[in-house]
Structure 1
Amino acid sequence: MQDEPIYLDCNSTTPVDPRVVDAMLPYLCAHFGNPSNTYHYGAEPRQALASARDQLARLLGTTADEITFTGSGSKANTLAIRGAALAHARSERPRHRVARTSSKSYARTARPQLGPGDAREGAPRRLTRANCRRGPRGTPAGTSRS
């Protein structure tokens, strides 16, 4: 048994692997430019980002254009909600969505990504047979909103 404590709170923050520190140091010190900009300082970070995207795509068995890096977990969650909401809106047979969050700030971030009536603050609507028969925005379940 180990005498050292074991860190189990990786949900809130995670220790950085030394290999990641080694790989990132050049971009934190020397090549610090914004990869989205076309100026000289952005060239090296832009190439490194493209290389990382290619490596991750190969690892996941997809293409680099399917990989999106975000600046935070909240931005990643918002992007996922936006994608799910758009796919739902374009679906021939929209289904009910149920989402719960313990974070009020995250609920405010996600709210603009959903249509009116899709996100509700406060207590969820009571689940009844009538509510289940109604689709999004009060339309009958299984019908499109065109």
Structure 2
Amino acid sequence: MLIAIGSDHTGVYYKSLINNFLTKIGCKIKDFGLFEYGEKVDYPDFIHPTAEFVEKGKADFGIIICGSGNGAAMTANKYEKIRAALVWNKEVAFLARKHNNANIISLPARFLDKNEILEIVDIFLKTNFEGGRHKIRIKKIPINSKYNPQ
């Protein structure tokens, strides 16, 4: 499994932990940065390439991190084939995959600790999409959707 990952300055520490975790469970990683602590950066500079990589089918999933998780999710969700879910606990991670077939998880660095982050990532990656009624709803998400329920 190939995971694309990107973060701003608030997520550098967590991104490092997640990368180590992903490597241990046998995932490959495409890291779009930020790579060092220090200067403050603008999250879109790192989220756009991560989301684009996932949208083009070059990664199975994406993980994005910023302070609240909101800006990162908003940025990623500008891409038509992206369903980025802002996730702050294990249940939301489970439902984001099972019901919404999220392909990117957006994590709020300022509101989670290292144990929670790794549990959330693990649940997100291990949960399968349920399909059924949820598939019908997901087809209605794109603004230019020509989905006809009949």
The question of a shared fold, defined as TM-score above 0.5 by the shorter chain, is answered with no
When normalised by structure 2's length, the TM-score is: 0.28
Larger radius of gyration: 1
Normalising by structure 1, what TM-score? 0.28
Of Structure 1 and Structure 2, which has the larger fraction of its residues in strand?
2
Structure with the larger helix share: 1
